[in-house]
């Protein structure tokens, strides 16, 4: 599978239905929210800051339970005009479910830091950084892939 087809498949798994032209036009914009979150989480982990990680939880909650990630608004109303990018579409349901999982993950990391379990927080946070880094770099979203697999299993069971 070529790179373009693989990227298209990754975005389709997240729930996007984009033409190749739309996908190419959104290559940076779709990465912006996760890249900014990634940078903030890495900073919070480096500082071992329960507060900084906890401040990311409401951002993730808004991203998971609304059609727009808060950082989508930064992109749509500011950054895209500076870089000549396309406006981001609303986030599909499966991508929002991934944000919900990230919200719980962030809350767990913050709680571990607050409880003094820094090593466990860093391990769990490191795993979050790896998953977020993967989706930012390649659009391959591990939670979306798992949800797609579960959806496929449910469909097969319903047919059987």
Q: Determine the pLDDT at residue 71.
A: 98
pTM: 0.91
As averages over each run of 10 residues, the pLDDT of the chain (160 residues) reads 84 92 93 97 98 98 97 97 96 96 98 98 98 95 92 78
Which of 38, 39, 89, 99 minimizes the C-alpha distance to 65? Answer: 99
Q: Determine the pLDDT at residue 153.
A: 79
Q: Determine the pLDDT at residue 4.
A: 79
Q: How many residues does the chain have?
A: 160
Are 128 and 41 a contacting pair, CB within 8 Å? Answer: yes
Q: Determine the pLDDT at residue 40.
A: 98
Q: Determine the pLDDT at residue 5.
A: 85
- How many CB atoms are closer than 10 A to CB 156? 9
Q: Please tell me the distance from the alpha carbon of residue 98 to that of residue 101, in angstroms, as a whole number.
A: 5
């Amino acid at each position: 599978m070529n790179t373009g087809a693989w990227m298209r498949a990754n975005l389709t798994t997240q729930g996007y239905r984009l033409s190749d032209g739309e996908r190419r036009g959104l290559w940076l914009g779709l990465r912006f929210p996760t890249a900014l979150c990634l940078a903030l989480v890495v900073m919070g982990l480096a500082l071992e800051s329960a507060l900084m990680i906890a401040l990311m939880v409401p951002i993730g909650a808004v991203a998971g339970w609304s059609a727009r990630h808060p950082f989508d608004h930064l992109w749509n109303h500011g950054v895209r005009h500076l870089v000549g990018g396309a406006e981001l579409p609303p986030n599909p349901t499966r991508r929002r479910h991934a944000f919900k999982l990230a919200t719980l993950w962030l809350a767990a990391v913050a709680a571990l830091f607050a409880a003094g379990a820094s090593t466990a927080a860093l391990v769990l946070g490191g795993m979050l950084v790896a998953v977020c880094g993967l989706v930012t770099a390649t659009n391959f979203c591990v939670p979306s892939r798992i949800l797609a697999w579960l959806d496929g299993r449910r469909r097969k069971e319903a047919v059987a």
